[in-house]
Structure 1
Amino acid sequence: MTDKLTVKLLSDTPVSRDQFNGTHEDVAQAISDLVTNEDGGKTIGLEGGWGSGKSTIIRILQERLENSKIQTVVFDAWAHEGDPLRRSFLENLLIHLRTQKWIEQKEYARLYEKLTHRVRSSVVNSVPKLGRWSGLIAVSFLLVPIGVSLFNYGFNNSSLVAVILGLLFTVSPVVAVIILSLFTQEFDWTKVLSRKEDITTNSETIEEPNPTSIEFSKLFAEVMNTCLIADESRRIVLILDNLDRVILSDALSIFSSMQTFLHNSPYRTEPWFSRLWIIIPHDRTALEKLWQNGEKDGSVADSFLEKTFQIRFTVPPILVSDWREYMVSELSKAFQGDQIKTQFYEVYRIYAICRSNTRTNTNEKKVIYAPTPREIKLFINQMQAISRQTINVYSLSHIAYFTYLRFYNCKSPERVHAFLLEDEDITKDQRLISLLDDTELRSNLAGMLFNTDVKRARQILLMGPIQEALTTNQQETLVSYRDYDGFWEVLAEVDFTDMVVEPVSLAQTANAIVETRLLEQRPTKYAKEIITKIAYAASQVENWKPLSGDVANGIVSILELSPNYPYLNGKPPRYVVQSKAEISSKVSSTEWRISHEEITL
């Protein structure tokens, strides 16, 4: 490619405008008219495949319903997967309504507290601790034994002072208590030595992370009553998105709760009930899996869909003309260059043809619908991944074909490698020939597969298969590779000296080349190099034993390829000029073995 190419990644963010000739606008308008003019308390289904534009319709619908009296609340179940979904749904609803000032802060706090089951609990621990006057009382008790000793001493030695001090020290605890009781009001003689101190620990716990279906219904009804009863013109549209993407248990918990609330609910007579709508965008195939429960005919799933949705809208498939224009438009955003635009239609055609070639397991054609917008964007972004690694190396048409092979058809590098080797015509479809008519196609595909230059890619692609075909004498396989891009270059790169340690492989190689008459159709510049390499490798063989028919034929083939090569110090063996036919008819096995031994001694 000579055009300087720049690339830009496409965003998968849903857009708020119709890009397909008004089909999304029509669906959004129909839903808008329904929820605006009809009584609610019902569930609307919005059915469409992955990436078909459901989110775009929801965006358009939100803009249509952008009104102070109508609130659309979107809950993405996939974004909350792993969380308690019923609780996450109600939290999301409360936060949205508070933000829009449909619920006062005080009421929001009350409902939120109720939702989260927050319970404040106090734990009181009594810890023994010395009282305030305990130190003084303790000292007075220490004086008691001293007082007893002084009293005994004074009594025995007629010392009045010692007797009086002894008595005072002995009764000092009693005196201390009396004094403290008389002169200190807060003194409690029952807590002389110790008191118990109360330590209060507050903890906040959640009794249950997810409300039960009954609790959910009650709280949901309370939220609806709070925000809708104040103004009879208000309406709420709840959009439960991606419920078909989460695990079965989570999806069923929401579905069952909403079913209970809408269809078997004591709240149906409430004045606000008719001003509530629920919209569930879904992929029918994914949603059916939630309810199949092992049955194959889908009857349970069909029954569920009929009972869940009072009305169902479908995202219409894209017309061929519409998605062609859309893809060309997205390509122009992703790939920018002075001349690159001329290749956009080719990319579209390659993608369309490759998709149309999809088959079922019974080899019958599927009904192929137009790709979804997301599929188109992902395909283009995947082309970018290849293009960014090989800027200005390959044409967009080759990149598009490789992208489809790698990520949609073969799906693994090993299968792409096998595909590039399995058939001479790798386009597989005559319609692709004019779009991909290039002698370098296989080499370019290999270059993208191995992320290297074309020359090295050819070697990686063909070297192994060519060597195997040579050394095992797979002549038909070898011939099948002959017209592949780079075949002769790779054959010339084969290192035949690696076969010296296993002479039978070298013999098989020479025999395969001669028997297939490859070199008769060879490009002249490679012939001499290939023959010289084989002859040199043969001259390095020290012993051709054990001799077999294959080895014998191989040796003759080597001699036919290069009869004048100095295999034996410039003395060619006596049967050099003989053809294999002459040898097989004129030389006995004994004579051949003798001749062979002469060569290898």
Structure 2
Amino acid sequence: MELKLQKESPSDNDLFEGQQHHNVALKMSEVIINEDIKIIGLEGCLGSGKSTIIHFIKKNLKESNFRFIEFDAEIYHFGTTKKALIDLIYRGLKETPGVDKKELQDHRDSALGNTLRYTRHQKSKISFWTIAFLLSSILSIQSLRYFLNDINKLFTGSTMSFWLFLIEVVCLLSPFMVLGAFKLCGKRSEDFTVSDILKKNSEDTITEKMLISREVGTLELYTALNGFIQCLPTDVRFILIIDNLDRINSGKVKELWSDMELISATAGEKLKIVLPYSAEHVSKSLSEDSGEGREFISKRIPVNFLVPPILSAGWRHGFATLWSETLADPVPEACYEVAELLERFLPQNHKQITPRFMKKMINDIKITSLTLPAQANHHVLIAFYLLLVRYAGHPFTNLMLDYQEGTLNELKGLHGLSDTFCAKMLKTQAQFARLYHYDHSQWREYLLCIHYQTHAALAKSELLDEPLRAALNNTDLAAFMALYGIFGFENAWRRQLHGTDPVQWCLLLADVEPEMQAKIAPIMQEVIILLDQTYARHVREQYHPKFVQALCILQEKGLVKGHEDFIARQSSQLMDELNRYNEATNLDDESFNLELFEEVDRYAVLTGKNYLKYLSKPLSGPLYYCFLFGYEEDFSALEIIDLSLNFSQTALAIQAYLSDDSEGDIFAPGIIRHVKINNKPLNSLIASPEPIQSAKNMEMFISGNEIKSRAAFRQLVLNNTWHTTSYISLYAHQVYLLEHYPSEVAAHALTHMIAIGSFTSYDSYMPFTKSSDFMPVFGNYLLYLQSFERLIPALEVPELAVLVIPALTSLMENSRVYALSHWQYVTQSFPLIVNAVGSPLALSFLAPWESHVVASIVKNGLTDLAPAFLQAMWAWEGLQNTKDALYQGLFKLIGEKDILLDAMETLHPNYQAVLQHLLTYQISYPGTVDILAFHDWYVDTDLATLLKPSHVRALFNLLTVEQQDETIKALIDVLLTRDVDVKRHIVLLQDFGDRLIYEENGVRGSRRTVARLFSYAPQYPAVANWLDSQTFHFSKWSPEDSLSAVTGIVEHREHFPKLLTTRYVSKRLNEIDEAISEHTDEHAE
């Protein structure tokens, strides 16, 4: 088919049904001819067919006496508009028959300033040299005749006068002589010529008056129009068409707006103006207020025709006509599909579908299709691409998305799409599904061909593979996510994954937004599989900070778990490397660097495992100083603050610190938190011949020189002599420190006094202890004491105790003591300490050394223990092992008969306290006791000893119930033994009267033994109580024994209230009363 494109020119025919454009042109022609209207407007949007209507008007008025002059404002708006108007009107008028062209041109030239008129007045002066030259020339000519006659006479031999001949020669040569004199003496220019004597030697005065108009203004336009009108025949009229007024800047619009009024007023009926324009654009140019601009238009243009809008049916007919001319004839179904797209996706800058827009679109479809392979309905896809990408400016990727009802919200958020656009795309995809029988890949592939102007395979690569690769290499997540949902994305990222570094994928996806995490989860799963296959397979991978940080971020988002194979392998190798660092003796080698700990910290976040707590050996002091000291915040996951160094490693860390920095501060947080009182390795290091701090500092201090650095001053505590020799008087020499850091000096001096045990001059430093910074510094100094016990004497000094107690409390609460003389603590120091800090803290502090305390109690017994310690122990719920040791210490006394007998007689107060505690809490002796010990105590013990207070009953109460029962039986035997001194029985009843019960067993002599006790009732209430509480069958007793017993009861009846009520005793009592009554009566008689 022949290539035929639509041209941007007025159409000869009205293509649209209804012929609205032709009708408007006809009515405008009638108004121009019949009405005395000077300015007629034609309003319509850009490309709506205004030029076509003007073209129709020209055709309608072709036979009339109107002639057309066209002024394109867009062409001339960069120059002088008025000048262009004058020139263009002149050209239009010049072709009119009967016009005076010369006069017309004169008016034009006059207006444009093409004619130059001026007046010149000149006055010249003739110089002396000019007059002399002229006179000499005349004289030379006159003397020539005489000179020639004399020459003739000279040749003929006639007589002549020599002097006269000489004068003639001078006169003849006089002009040359004047010229020579002028050259030597006259005023001349450097380029001297003979003519200078005639012209350049004169002086002229010129006066000029010039009238030139350099710029054409309103006056010139008015003058030119006036002149033009006068030159025209009376029956000729003109129409001035000012076109494209809506395409120039506002300044030119305002200028032409003013010129139109001037032209219409000046030309009268000879010239009418037709003004096609867009009201929207012109009103904005005339005024910032659109309403005010429209008011200007209505005032200037009284008659205004509107370009008719194209109805849907009308423009579709015209569109089909244009389609048939350029694309295909007969018109295929694709034309109507494109019309549907055009109506759906009309660009926002077009308020309606105009002829110009239709022509442009038809041309673009044709030109684009020339470079593409033909396929069914390919013009529809080209139109779709043009409407959305070229005209509307949408990203091409928006066309490739899969618009489904269920995924619209995701697409809107990810690609920033509007609801309206998505709704339109849903309709379009349904339209394409109908056209391509639901083969979405077919039309999407052709769209790729349109966009990239190439075949489908290469276009796919350009659409996704290259952008994916670029996004991956540039770690551009926004660009990557913009591709999500595009046709072919799933296959594209899989193709890229296995040809790229999985580390790059982690870097790219780390910053994904929460709402997109579920979308990239499949990608991350594949990335992790690839990492598990390749990462850290045989050796530890080099530290990649961004990669490890990305893993941590992905873990926070749940996309990485932290226990993947590649993480486990790298972690294991990191652990091996950490152990190598920890066991190294020289960490100055270049192979040891801080980078390892940065990586370990990140992996600790990933795995939730602090690798420093899983070292094969205790944490090295040099390693701690080189790589962990001062990095608490940088390596937060390693929890450096919570790490602990053992005795020896703490000393090595301090040694490494001060060896590296002689001005190091031993109170630095990373150092002081590992220091505890009585760190033996540190004490040994201090006592070593080679001091670990600068010896110069100690020499300066001893010599009385000032130390200006607090760090150097603090290092004095690391000198052995400071702990053993008194330097109290030397502190007064530290004037600088006393002036600037008095509390520091006070804390240092008081700690020194505590260290050496001398408190003679403490009062001079007491004023400095009121400062708020004293107590923390004082506590730090105390940590460097070589033993905890050196603190105890200070508690006996009331003034110092006020300072020591808070520091001591802090030290004990925070477990800042490495070693303790535990036996001294529980035997000597405890009373002072418990008074200072209270029993709960005093005992909880002892817990780490409990096993040692138990061993010492087992070894040394309870005698040396401080009573305050025992008292505190009974009120404390902890230290159960210690309590058990105290119990066992007492139980040792019960296990052997001889020791038990001694304990019955004499028991140390500490043992008594333990015994009382056991009895209070009803704790029984778990072992077996020799029962005869109690029997022998009352039988064999010296009577004088027996009569003294003893611990028999308390020890008895410690026995189990079974053993107590057996013991009571043995004691009953003692009680009923006749050969035993009655006083022993009395003591026995005093001790065990509440447990001994008399039984009538018929043992020989037992009744007589009991009978004799009745006579001791008044002296020993315990005996009386026991007797009164027993049950006796006196009728079974022998007469002597029963009489003895009853007599005792009767004589001391007040002590036996219960026995008096028994039948036998009451009977005998009545008999006695009767006998007494009879005896009394006998005496009375």
Q: TM-score, normalised by structure 2?
A: 0.39
Of 483-492 and 90-99, more deviation after overlay is shown by: 483-492
**Within 2, Cα distance between the matches of 1:207 and 1:175?**
47
Q: Secondary structure at the match of 2:71?
A: strand
- Give the paired residue count: 494
**1:243/1:251 contact within 8 Å kept:** yes
Structure with higher helix content = 2
2:991 aligned residue: none
Q: Unmatched 5+ residue regions in structure 2? A: 141-159, 178-193, 205-209, 412-420, 434-439, 511-516, 568-606, 616-1085
Residue number among 244, 247, 256 corresponding to 2:246 in the alignment: 244
Kindly indicate whether residue 113 of structure 2 is the aligned counterpart of residue 108 of structure 1: no
Residue 445 (structure 1) shift: 3.1
Kindly indicate whether residue 223 of structure 2 is the aligned counterpart of residue 218 of structure 1: yes
Residue 110 (structure 1) shift: 2.9
**1:24/1:56 contact within 8 Å kept:** yes
Kindly indicate whether residue 342 of structure 2 is the aligned counterpart of residue 351 of structure 1: yes
Q: Give the % identical residues.
A: 19
Of 394-403 and 54-63, more deviation after overlay is shown by: 394-403
Give the aligned residue type for 2:379: L
Q: Secondary structure at the match of 1:274?
A: helix
**1:383/1:399 contact within 8 Å kept:** yes
Q: Secondary structure at the match of 1:317?
A: coil
Give the aligned residue type for 1:114: S
Of 534-543 and 273-282, more deviation after overlay is shown by: 534-543
**1:507/1:553 contact within 8 Å kept:** no
**Within 1, Cα distance between the matches of 2:52 and 2:109?**
35
Higher relative contact order (CA 8 A, sep 6+): 1
The 5 Å alignment of 1:181-580 reads: 194-196=197-199, 207-208=212-213, 210-229=215-234, 231=235, 234-262=236-264, 265=265, 273-292=268-287, 294=288, 296=289, 298-336=290-328, 341-355=332-346, 370-392=352-374, 395-410=378-393, 415-417=395-397, 420=400, 428=422, 429=424, 430-437=426-433, 438-463=440-465, 484-494=486-496, 496-499=498-501, 504=506, 516=521, 543-544=540-541, 556=564
Kindly indicate whether residue 33 of structure 2 is the aligned counterpart of residue 26 of structure 1: no
Give the aligned residue type for 1:498: T
Q: Secondary structure at the match of 1:396?
A: helix
Of 416-425 and 489-498, more deviation after overlay is shown by: 416-425
Q: Secondary structure at the match of 1:221?
A: helix
**Within 1, Cα distance between the matches of 2:464 and 2:125?**
85
Per-residue CA distance 1:32-78 (angstroms, 9 max, x = gap): 111212234x2111111101111111100011011252222222121
Structure with larger Rg: 2
Give the aligned residue type for 2:274: I
**Within 2, Cα distance between the matches of 1:515 and 1:458?**
21
Give the aligned residue type for 2:55: R
The 5 Å alignment of 1:160-171 reads: 166-171=166-171
Q: Secondary structure at the match of 1:118?
A: coil
**Within 1, Cα distance between the matches of 2:164 and 2:481?**
133
Per-residue CA distance 1:552-582 (angstroms, 9 max, x = gap): 75994889xxxxxxxxxxxxxxxxxxxxxxx
**1:496/1:537 contact within 8 Å kept:** no
**2:536/2:566 contact within 8 Å kept:** no
**Within 2, Cα distance between the matches of 1:109 and 1:479?**
71
**1:65/1:72 contact within 8 Å kept:** no
Residue 121 (structure 1) shift: 5.8
**Within 2, Cα distance between the matches of 1:139 and 1:336?**
102
**1:46/1:282 contact within 8 Å kept:** yes
Per-residue CA distance 1:240-287 (angstroms, 9 max, x = gap): 11223223333323321332454xx5x6xxxx8335322111100111
The 5 Å alignment of 1:84-163 reads: 84-120=80-116
Q: Secondary structure at the match of 2:27?
A: helix
Give the aligned residue type for 1:47: E
Per-residue CA distance 1:203-261 (angstroms, 9 max, x = gap): xx9933553323322321332333242x3xx4322221122322333332332133245
Give the aligned residue type for 1:342: E
Change (3 A) 1:112 1:558: same
**Within 1, Cα distance between the matches of 2:197 and 2:335?**
92
Residue 167 (structure 1) shift: 4.7
Q: Secondary structure at the match of 2:8?
A: coil
2:13 aligned residue: 17
Change (3 A) 1:490 1:531: farther
Change (3 A) 1:73 1:176: closer
Residue 435 (structure 1) shift: 2.5
Residue 399 (structure 1) shift: 0.9
**Within 1, Cα distance between the matches of 2:528 and 2:459?**
24
Residue 385 (structure 1) shift: 4.1
**1:331/1:380 contact within 8 Å kept:** yes
Give the aligned residue type for 1:402: Y
The 5 Å alignment of 1:172-183 reads: 172-173=172-173
Of 461-470 and 98-107, more deviation after overlay is shown by: 461-470
**Within 1, Cα distance between the matches of 2:476 and 2:199?**
98
Residue 320 (structure 1) shift: 0.4
Residue 433 (structure 1) shift: 2.4
Q: Unmatched 5+ residue regions in structure 1? A: 141-159, 178-190, 200-204, 360-367, 521-526, 560-585, 595-601
**Within 2, Cα distance between the matches of 1:241 and 1:50?**
12
**2:40/2:304 contact within 8 Å kept:** yes
Change (3 A) 1:516 1:72: same
Residue 353 (structure 1) shift: 1.0
Change (3 A) 1:47 1:461: same
Residue 407 (structure 1) shift: 2.3
**Within 2, Cα distance between the matches of 1:542 and 1:136?**
121
Per-residue CA distance 1:73-115 (angstroms, 9 max, x = gap): 2221212222322222222222122224252433433333333
**1:397/1:435 contact within 8 Å kept:** no
**Within 1, Cα distance between the matches of 2:478 and 2:167?**
129
Q: TM-score, normalised by structure 1?
A: 0.66
RMSD between aligned residues: 5.2
**1:239/1:279 contact within 8 Å kept:** yes
Give the aligned residue type for 1:194: I
Residue 168 (structure 1) shift: 4.6
Change (3 A) 1:452 1:219: same
**2:73/2:245 contact within 8 Å kept:** yes
**1:29/1:64 contact within 8 Å kept:** yes
Per-residue CA distance 1:399-425 (angstroms, 9 max, x = gap): 1111111123226xxx33466469677
**2:402/2:486 contact within 8 Å kept:** no
Change (3 A) 1:207 1:440: farther
Q: Secondary structure at the match of 1:355?
A: coil
Of 543-552 and 488-497, more deviation after overlay is shown by: 543-552
Give the aligned residue type for 1:113: D
Q: Secondary structure at the match of 2:441?
A: coil
1:523 aligned residue: none
Give the aligned residue type for 1:315: V
